Each structure stands twice: as structure tokens, then as C-alpha cells.
Amino acid sequence: MFKIAITLKDIITLTKELPESCFEETYEKLTEIKNKAEVEKESENEYCPNCKSTLTVRNGKNRGKQMYICRSCKKSFSETSSSAIAHSHSSTTVWKQVISDTVDGVPLDQTAESLDLHHETVFNMRHKILYCLEQSLISNPTALTGVCEADETYVLESEKGRKFPENYRRKPRKHGAKASKPGISNDYVCVCTSVTGAEEKIAVAINRASPDSQEILEVFGKRVDEDTVVLCDGKRSYNILDDKCTVAVTNRINKVNGFHSFIKEKLEDMRGVATIYLNRYNALFSQVYAADKSSVINNIYKLMASRNSFNTIAHTQTANLLDI
């Protein structure tokens, strides 16, 4: 018998449809389930983010979050201290639902309505998710091992959500509009991509139009080694990698072309994303493509709940923005 995957949205939707006479019974049952889950979690030890000791005990709650105190250093902390979700009023379940919607490309307003959250709250949550993913890949660049296919794809530059100044270089475009010039031009942002036989993937926006040798080196230089074989379509810019790995020309780069199609489909579903955030979404695409969704959601949440992943809304609004 197949187990049906139930999301927080499903429970909220069902609850909204309940007759008023069932409210009290439903509330009591949900409270009972919640208390049972908390009791089961009591046996889990949290380590102290200050001294790393596991000699910790539960110490009440603050805004619904379990607090702990360390018997070694006497410091108090919560289960999410020093993590990206520290100080958040939302539960683990809500965060996982927002992660799921981010993976699926669900519009922000739709997520906000289903979870009864404000649009700006969901926007900030989504960009915390994307920022953590991008930071993780910056700190630990994906190594391209074995045989990998490399190529570029081009996406239309976007100033989505921005009010244009009077002297801006172009006029605002409507959703679905095309570039002002045919072919590859400065209206397009170049995304360098690669997919290996082991399904390791990268996608990095580096510049407008076609990349030069130094830009290829910047993207791939630290990710390849002498045992890597890079298959490309013959673009001369890739020759700069000859000293680091083996570069071969081929017409069969179907894996990376499939990745290109995935990226463009996702961007189209989202009606485009602002170019300043493009590499954050590229980090997401590289994690999601050809991967199990439930594993991706759990891995992203673990990343955000991990110690030393702390960031603020100010970080997400100013750090690592793509400026090309």
C-alpha cells in the first residue's frame, strides 16, 4: 500500500474546511499530537554552540522554541541558535513547506496565502534559503570529477521588482517580452554550466554575452583537476583549461543541454527572476536537477538549521548580488 505524502498545506486546507462544531475536537487532537512529539524529542541532546559540550538540559521555551542551558559554561541557547533560522517565529514544518515551494517554483503570493503569512515574510524566507545554498557552494565549490560536459546557456537579463531610473539604458519590458536585438547580445546573461557522469552539476552566471578565457577559468579553474575530462563544443575559451585538465571537443553534450532546458523551464515558470539574484537560483537549480525532491528538501533544511549558518535579512539583500 502506497503512503500518501501529506504537506502542511494539505492540513491547513483541510482545517479551513472543517465545520465550526469540530474546532474544539480538532484543536485537542492536534495539541495531543504536538505534546507527544515534544516528549519524544526530550531524549535528544543538543550540543552547546558556545563550548560544544553535550552536557545540556532543557530550560523552558521562548516564543514557542525549546531553550537549553549548558551545564559546562552556563550559557543559554535555543535549538536554532547560530543557524540561519535563528530568531524565526516559524516552525520547522513551515520552513520545510517554504523550502518545498521554493524547489517547486511556487509563486510567493501562493505560498503566503496557503501558510497565512505576509508576502514579505515569505520573500525573506525564500532568500534566506537561496542565500544559504549559494554560500554553501561558494565555501565548498562542487568538484567536477571524471568526464564532464561543459557549455553555456543564455537567459534574458531582468530587473524584475525594480523601479527604473529615468536615465536607465533601456525601457522596462513586460513579462514574456524579447530582447531588443536578435542573437546573443548584452541583453542576455551568460550562465556557464557543467554536468558530470556522477551527476555533479554547476551553474554560474559570469557575464553578459559570450564568456572569454578568463571567465571560463574563473568558473571551472578551481573545480577541475588533472583527472578531469571536459567535453565542450569547441569554443576556444575552454583551451585555457588545458593546463589543469583534459579538454576534448564533441557534438554530444546531451546531459548539459538537458540541464539548460531545466533552467529555462524553471525561470519561465517563475516568470523570470531578477538578475541580481540569478546565481542564488542557479545554486538551487544545481541541487534540484535530476535529484530526489524529498532528499533535497531535507538537505536544505539541515543546511539552514546547522550551526554557524546564521545570516540576517540584511545579508540576503546586500551580499553576493550579481552585478554585471
Give pLDDT, residue 44: 54
Mean pLDDT confidence for 207-215: 91
Give pLDDT, residue 40: 57
The winner for highest mean pLDDT among 37-46, 70-79, 114-123 is 114-123
- Is the pLDDT at 102 greater than 90? The verdict is yes
Give pLDDT, residue 77: 81
| Every domain of the chain and the residues it spans | 142-292
- Is the pLDDT at 164 greater than 80? The verdict is no
Q: Please give, one letter per residue, the 3-state secondary structure of the chain.
A: CCCCCCCHHHHHHHHHCCCHHHHHHHHHHHHHHHHHHHHHHCCCCCCCCCCCCCCEEEEEEECCEEEEEECCCCCEEECCCCCCCCCCCCCHHHHHHHHHHHHHCCCHHHHHHHHCCCHHHHHHHHHHHHHHHHHHHHHCCCCCCCEEEEEEEEEECCCCCCCCCCCCCCCCCCCCCCCCCCCCCCCEEEEEEEEECCCCEEEEEEEECCCCHHHHHHHHCCCCCCCCEEEECCCHHHHHHHHCCEEEECCCCHHHHHHHHHHHHHHHHCCCCCHHHHHHHHHHHHHHCCCCHHHHHHHHHHHHHCCCCCCCHHHHHHCCCCCC
pTM: 0.82
- Is the pLDDT at 1 greater than 50? The verdict is no
Binned at pLDDT 50, 70 and 90, residue 41 comes out as low
- Is the pLDDT at 307 greater than 90? The verdict is no
Domain covering 142-292 assigned CATH 3.30.420.10 in the classification: yes
